Chain A
Amino acid sequence: MRVVLSNSSGIPLYQQIKEQVGAAVLTGELAEGEALPSVRALARDLRISIITTTRAYAELAAEGFISTVPGKGAYVLPLDSALVREQLLRQVEEGLQTALDAARRAGLGRDDVVRILDGLLDSEYEHA
């Protein structure tokens, strides 16, 4: 599991862990059923407080990414749970919104945007 913490980002440490582990689950980098280090082992390895890692894991569990076993550790939950699907949907929406903002600034019309999206979808499914 890869977690890289920034001291100067202004984002709380637990938030950084949560985002990075969550992202790794979503990209499939952390596969379903994979074991994560225990809260205490992660705290030791990152040299941060136990309360911080506990909080990160608790929030990841609440969002359906992982399941924690008291005293043991945590493992990655299957991706198709409703909560994760919602997460992914939100990411799709956010991504498309960013694209639309850019399109507006570039002066692209509705048809242009749809054509680009179609093109991307075609190449995506050709490869698949």
Chain B
Amino acid sequence: MNAVFRATVLHMRSVAPYRTQFLLVLALMVVLDLRSPTGLMVATAVILAPYLAVQPFQIADKADLTTLYAVLPVTRRAVLLAYYAWAVVVYLGALIVGTALSYVAARVEGDAFGGGQLTTLLTMSWALFAVNVAVQFPLLIRFGYTRVNVLATILPIALIMLAAYKLHLTIDAGQVWLPLLGVAGAAVLVISATLTAHVFRHPE
């Protein structure tokens, strides 16, 4: 297909050799949070997904892939947009895995699963993930992975999400706002991607 697709596959291939490591992270979360189906889902969507989303930056720094991107017949714009495409793919992947695991966990525990609570969690996690990526990626693109403290940007958002979840603040109160939240997440992501691809379109 087009250049962004090819660049997304390239990001995927750079991350691929480290898959065992990511599976270990996932396994760790399963072990830690198996008691609570919803907790498990939140964990995959809010911790695993952002962690995976920044991997192309880390590997690019380590293996001088910025040079590869400048040597390959692919525009810088496509490479930048592909970072975002990769993030969305990762989020969807984490979501599917998280939901599936949560479902299994719910069955095992005999808990109820689905309905309003599920929708709320999914929308919340999406919005937070989107904000997270929209803030992080321009920084990572501008300064590189080694010079940006990824934890510093992930942690506050992850903590808000966890706090909200633990305090059951959002489950019912947020219902009205959910559609807006979902759209806002997508919008923030699109704006960040568009701006980044424009501002950083020239090399160095």
Are A and B direct contacts in the complex by CB distance below 8 Å? no
Q: Which residues of B come within 8 Å of A, CB atoms?
A: none
